[in-house]
């Protein structure tokens, strides 16, 4: 029987069905068409990027002897749900831990607060970096330890006992580094100091990745699109340092028991031949698991062995600085080669006195450098600062002076390819105006002899030597000679000309030659080649610092060197002989027997610094 009375209700029911479907289609449109967030969340769910680490580049010295290499290490991994019937006692003995340590470790892995990515289906780190021996034993027994696996990782090993400051080290990235550079993820290794840090981008290579599909339980189900989007890792580039490992070793031996630095530069190229910072440490201490503990220990050491004094230490340059003053006065026409200044055991004027040692006076520039006459250079600066015909004010005079100093590479970072370089201090007019208010030449006169406000890094002193060796220019000092399959940064190859003409440099070089032949640097003389040198004895609160700057041979120089020994006394006491040995080793390729004996003697001469922290 037809029921026509309520037939209209078929439209109500049909309407309900239509309304439901329309509602759902609108909802679908919202979910699928307007919001990209669901897509990325689905990708986060499903894609597991398995990172493949490239081999880090190895490091060689300038003669291609190996300094740093990689060694495989193994992490013990565990998949919790596969662990069964474990002979815990045997396991603990094999990997060399106690039952208690085992239990603690397992508990830490399972604790989601400490291990947020925990899944019973995936590999969890049980023990990092086991040694090769442990690896051998463990691998033999592994079939008995269900659920335990080995994961290969490389650790950095050192083939040398030297060069710690130069080479630096690698360690796990900090969270700040991860934040700064999206290349890194927690657990990656990164160069922390030295060349490892400054050449991180070249050494690390590029990580590869396999895009894997991961199911809801964290298990891997295969490659996404059969590996279409996978990337192979690009190995890191090998690096050749400009360092001569033998020279470096000699330098480090000579500086044993002392604080200070040696820097040697090949003047023509700006390549650093050796860079010693004392006290130093054995780079092996930074290998593998022990790094953290060793770092802590060294950071607590009052002698600060981690500090690279060659580039981070700033010292008064003392008399080595006089060469730069002579050059400035010559170029500015304050003096000529024949201008002579008096020196009656120093510079005396208007109650101001800068002492000097006994020598003939008055004397012109070349002998003044040879005898390291304080009076001469004080008078030179005095006349320069008070020359009102040339400079309207003393401020203008000191600004001119400062510009000369900056052109020689002082007061700013030289731009060496190592982290942590200090800029030293060259005062300018502004500085004196603020510090002293109203001031005159007498008040600042000690900067003429490398004292007072002036400080330089040992690298800047060595670079001064290189500039004089080149007679007026320098190449940015750098530590890396060659990058395999890459190029050095242009900034490391730039030729910097100073504001002083070549002819004046020749005069200063002659003065330095005279110092070696008959002046303060006699100890640096070598019959086989012509050495130029300049001593420095820098006053400070404690005993004087002993400094030396020199280069050899005088014509066609192969090496420029700076030696700085804290509290070593006269420049001739430590600076000159150490500098002489460095030059001999490099130029001759070896030390004569007499020099070897001398080297051994200096190695054993330690300076007592007490327990003071520097």
Partner 1 sequence: MEQEQGSKGIFLSIDWMTILLYVILIVWGWFSVCGACYDFNNPDLFSWETNSGKQIVWAGTSLVLAAALMLIEKRIYDTTAYITYIFMMVLLAVTIIIAPDTKGSHSWLPIGSSVKIQPAEFAKFSVALALGKLMDRYGYNIKNLKDIGTAIGIILLPMLLIIAQKETGSALVYFAFFLMLYREGMTGSLLFTGFACVTYFVVGMKFSESYIDNMPVSIGEFSVLLMAMLFTIGMVWVYCRNRQAVKIMAYTCFGGTALAMLFSIFVIPFNVCYVMVGFCLLMIGYIIGLAIYTRLIRYGLIALFAIISTSFFYITDSLFERLDDHQRIRIEVLLGMKDDPRGAGYNVNQAKIAIGSGGLFGKGFLNGTQTKLRYVPEQHTDFIFCTVGEEEGFVGSAGVLIVYLLFIWRLIVVAERQPDTMGRVYGYSVMCIFLFHLFINVGMVLGLTPVIGIPLPFFSYGGSSLWGFTLLLFIFLRMDAERNLKRQ
> Is residue 290 involved in binding partner 1 (CB under 8 A)?
no
- CB nearer partner 1, residue 5 or residue 613: 5
Q: Report helix, strand or coil for 48.
A: strand
User: Please, where are the H alpha helices in 412-501?
Assistant: 429-436, 458-469
Q: Of the listed pieces 27-35, 358-366, 536-544, 547-555, which binds partner 1 according to CB under 8 A?
A: 27-35
Contact 466, 408 (CB under 8 A): no
> Is residue 222 involved in binding partner 1 (CB under 8 A)?
yes
- CB nearer partner 1, residue 41 or residue 110: 41
> Is residue 336 involved in binding partner 1 (CB under 8 A)?
no
Q: Of the listed pieces 20-28, 83-91, 125-133, 328-336, which binds partner 1 according to CB under 8 A?
A: 20-28
Q: Of the listed pieces 13-21, 143-151, 297-305, 418-426, which binds partner 1 according to CB under 8 A?
A: 13-21
Q: Using CB under 8 A, pick the residue from 27, 81, 268, 390 that binds partner 1.
A: 27
Contact 107, 124 (CB under 8 A): no
Closest listed residue to residue 266, CA positions, set 560, 590, 596:
560
Element holding 534 (H helix, E strand): strand 532-538
- Gap between the Cα atoms of 261 and 278, Å rounded: 6
Question: Smallest distance, Å, CB 188 to partner 1?
Answer: 27
- CB nearer partner 1, residue 9 or residue 388: 9
**Cβ-based neighbours of 167, under 8 Å, separated by 6 or more:** 59, 67, 68, 158, 160, 194, 195, 196, 283
- CB nearer partner 1, residue 10 or residue 438: 10
The DSSP call for residue 341 is: B
- Gap between the Cα atoms of 533 and 464, Å rounded: 11
Order across the sheet with 47-52: list the strands. 47-52, 208-214, 220-223
Closest listed residue to residue 589, CA positions, set 177, 247, 104:
247
> Is residue 228 involved in binding partner 1 (CB under 8 A)?
no
> Is residue 412 involved in binding partner 1 (CB under 8 A)?
no
Window 155-214: residues binding partner 1 (CB under 8 A): 213-214
One-character DSSP codes across 362-401: SB-HHHHHHHT-HHHHHHHHHHHHT-TTT-SSHHHHHHHH
User: Please, where are the H alpha helices in 7-154?
Assistant: 9-29, 37-46, 88-95, 99-110, 132-141
Window 32-61: residues binding partner 1 (CB under 8 A): 32-33, 35, 37-39, 41-43, 45-47
Q: Using CB under 8 A, pick the residue from 94, 216, 226, 473 that binds partner 1.
A: 216
- CB nearer partner 1, residue 6 or residue 143: 6
Phi and psi based region of residue 61 (left: phi greater than 0; alpha: psi -120 to 50; beta: remaining): beta
- CB nearer partner 1, residue 9 or residue 289: 9
Does 70 sit behind a cis peptide bond, omega within 30 degrees of 0 on the bond before it? no
Binding-site size for partner 1 (CB under 8 A) equals 42
> Is residue 25 involved in binding partner 1 (CB under 8 A)?
yes
> Is residue 116 involved in binding partner 1 (CB under 8 A)?
no
Question: Smallest distance, Å, CB 45 to partner 1?
Answer: 5
> Is residue 487 involved in binding partner 1 (CB under 8 A)?
no
- CB nearer partner 1, residue 37 or residue 64: 37
Instruction: Please list, residue by residue across 454-480, b when 16 or more beta carbons sit within 10 angstroms of its beta carbon and e when fewer do.
Output: bbbbbbbbbbbbbbbbbbbbbbbbbbb
> Is residue 436 involved in binding partner 1 (CB under 8 A)?
no
> Is residue 229 involved in binding partner 1 (CB under 8 A)?
no
Q: At what angle are helices 132-141 and 88-95 packed, to 10 degrees?
A: 160
Question: Smallest distance, Å, CB 112 to partner 1?
Answer: 12
> Is residue 17 involved in binding partner 1 (CB under 8 A)?
yes
Question: Smallest distance, Å, CB 12 to partner 1?
Answer: 8
Question: Smallest distance, Å, CB 208 to partner 1?
Answer: 22
Question: Smallest distance, Å, CB 211 to partner 1?
Answer: 11
Q: Using CB under 8 A, pick the residue from 18, 51, 234, 293 that binds partner 1.
A: 18
**Beta strand 346-349 pairing with 352-355:** antiparallel
- CB nearer partner 1, residue 44 or residue 611: 44
> Is residue 13 involved in binding partner 1 (CB under 8 A)?
yes
Q: Which two tokens stand for residue 529?
A: 């080649």
Q: Using CB under 8 A, pick the residue from 10, 300, 434, 612 that binds partner 1.
A: 10
- CB nearer partner 1, residue 28 or residue 132: 28
Contact 453, 428 (CB under 8 A): no
Q: Using CB under 8 A, pick the residue from 50, 221, 491, 588 that binds partner 1.
A: 221
> Is residue 232 involved in binding partner 1 (CB under 8 A)?
no
Contact 520, 277 (CB under 8 A): no
Q: Which two tokens stand for residue 290?
A: 């022990």
Q: Report helix, strand or coil for 352.
A: strand
- Gap between the Cα atoms of 80 and 126, Å rounded: 10
- Gap between the Cα atoms of 359 and 351, Å rounded: 22
Element holding 405 (H helix, E strand): helix 394-407
- CB nearer partner 1, residue 34 or residue 389: 34
- CB nearer partner 1, residue 217 or residue 497: 217
Element holding 166 (H helix, E strand): helix 164-167
- CB nearer partner 1, residue 119 or residue 269: 119
- CB nearer partner 1, residue 49 or residue 70: 49
Q: Which two tokens stand for residue 214?
A: 């991961």
Question: Smallest distance, Å, CB 279 to partner 1?
Answer: 55
Question: Smallest distance, Å, CB 275 to partner 1?
Answer: 54
What are the two backbone dihedrals, phi and then psi, of residue 586, each rounded to the nearest 5 degrees? -75, -45
> Is residue 28 involved in binding partner 1 (CB under 8 A)?
yes
Q: Of the listed pieces 21-29, 73-81, 88-96, 178-186, which binds partner 1 according to CB under 8 A?
A: 21-29
Q: Of the listed pieces 79-87, 217-225, 329-337, 422-430, which binds partner 1 according to CB under 8 A?
A: 217-225
Which residues make up the interface to partner 1 (CB under 8 A)? 1-3, 5-7, 9-10, 12-14, 16-18, 20-21, 23-25, 27-29, 31-33, 35, 37-39, 41-43, 45-47, 213-217, 221-222
């Amino acid at each position: 029987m037809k029921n026509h009375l309520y037939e209209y209700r078929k439209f109500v029911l049909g309407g309900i069905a239509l309304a439901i479907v329309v509602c759902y289609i609108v909802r679908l449109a919202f979910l699928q068409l307007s919001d990209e967030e669901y897509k990325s969340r689905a990708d986060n769910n499903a894609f597991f990027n398995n990172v493949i680490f490239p081999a880090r580049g190895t490091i060689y010295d300038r003669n291609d002897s190996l300094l740093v290499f990689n060694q495989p290490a193994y992490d013990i991994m565990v998949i919790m749900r596969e662990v069964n019937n474990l002979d815990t006692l045997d396991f603990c003995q094999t990997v060399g831990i106690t039952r208690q340590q085992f239990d603690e470790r397992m508990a830490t892995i399972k604790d989601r607060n400490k291990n947020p990515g925990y899944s019973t289906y995936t590999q969890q780190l049980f023990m990092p970096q086991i040694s090769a021996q442990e690896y051998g034993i463990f691998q033999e027994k592994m079939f008995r330890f269900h659920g335990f696996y080995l994961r290969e990782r490389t650790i950095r090993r050192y083939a040398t006992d030297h060069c710690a400051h130069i080479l630096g080290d690698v360690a796990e990235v900090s969270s700040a580094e991860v934040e700064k550079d999206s290349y890194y993820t927690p657990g990656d290794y990164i160069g922390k100091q030295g060349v490892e840090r400054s050449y991180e981008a070249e050494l690390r290579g590029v990580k590869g990745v396999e895009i894997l599909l991961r199911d809801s339980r964290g298990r891997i189900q295969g490659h996404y699109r059969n590996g279409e989007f996978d990337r192979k890792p690009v190995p890191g580039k090998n690096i050749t340092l400009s360092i001569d490992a033998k020279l470096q070793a000699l330098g480090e031996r000579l500086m044993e028991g002392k604080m200070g630095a040696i820097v040697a530069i090949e003047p023509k190229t700006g390549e650093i031949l050796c860079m010693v910072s004392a006290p130093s440490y054995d780079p092996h201490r930074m290998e593998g698991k022990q790094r953290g503990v060793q770092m802590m220990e060294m950071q607590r050491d009052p002698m600060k062995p981690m500090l690279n004094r060659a580039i981070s230490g700033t010292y008064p340059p003392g008399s080595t600085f006089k060469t730069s003053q002579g050059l400035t006065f010559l170029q500015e026409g304050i003096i000529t080669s024949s201008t002579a200044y008096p020196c009656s055991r120093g510079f005396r004027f208007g109650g101001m006195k800068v002492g000097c040692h006994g020598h003939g006076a008055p004397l012109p520039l070349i002998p003044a450098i040879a005898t390291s006459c304080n009076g001469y250079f004080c008078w030179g600066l005095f006349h320069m600062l008070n020359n009102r015909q040339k400079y309207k004010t003393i401020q203008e005079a000191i600004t001119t002076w400062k510009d000369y100093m900056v052109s020689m590479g002082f007061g700013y970072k030289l731009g060496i390819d190592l982290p942590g370089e200090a800029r030293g201090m060259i005062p300018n007019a502004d500085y004196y105006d603020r510090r002293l208010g109203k001031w005159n030449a007498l008040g600042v006169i000690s900067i003429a002899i490398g004292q007072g406000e002036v400080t330089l890094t040992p690298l800047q002193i060595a670079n001064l030597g290189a500039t004089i060796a080149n007679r007026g220019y320098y190449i940015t000092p750098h530590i890396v000679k060659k990058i395999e399959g890459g190029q050095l940064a242009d900034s490391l190859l730039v030729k910097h000309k100073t504001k002083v003409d070549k002819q004046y440099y020749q005069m200063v070089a002659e003065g330095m030659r005279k110092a070696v032949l008959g002046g303060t640097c006699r100890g640096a003389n070598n019959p086989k080649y012509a050495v130029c040198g300049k001593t420095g004895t820098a006053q400070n609160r404690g005993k004087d610092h002993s400094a030396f700057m020199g280069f050899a041979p005088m014509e066609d120089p192969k090496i420029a060197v700076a030696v700085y020994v804290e509290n070593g006394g006269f420049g001739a006491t430590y600076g000159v002989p150490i500098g002489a040995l460095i030059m001999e080793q490099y130029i001759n390729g070896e030390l004569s027997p007499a020099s070897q004996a001398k080297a051994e003697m200096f190695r054993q001469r330690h300076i007592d610094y007490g327990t003071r922290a520097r």
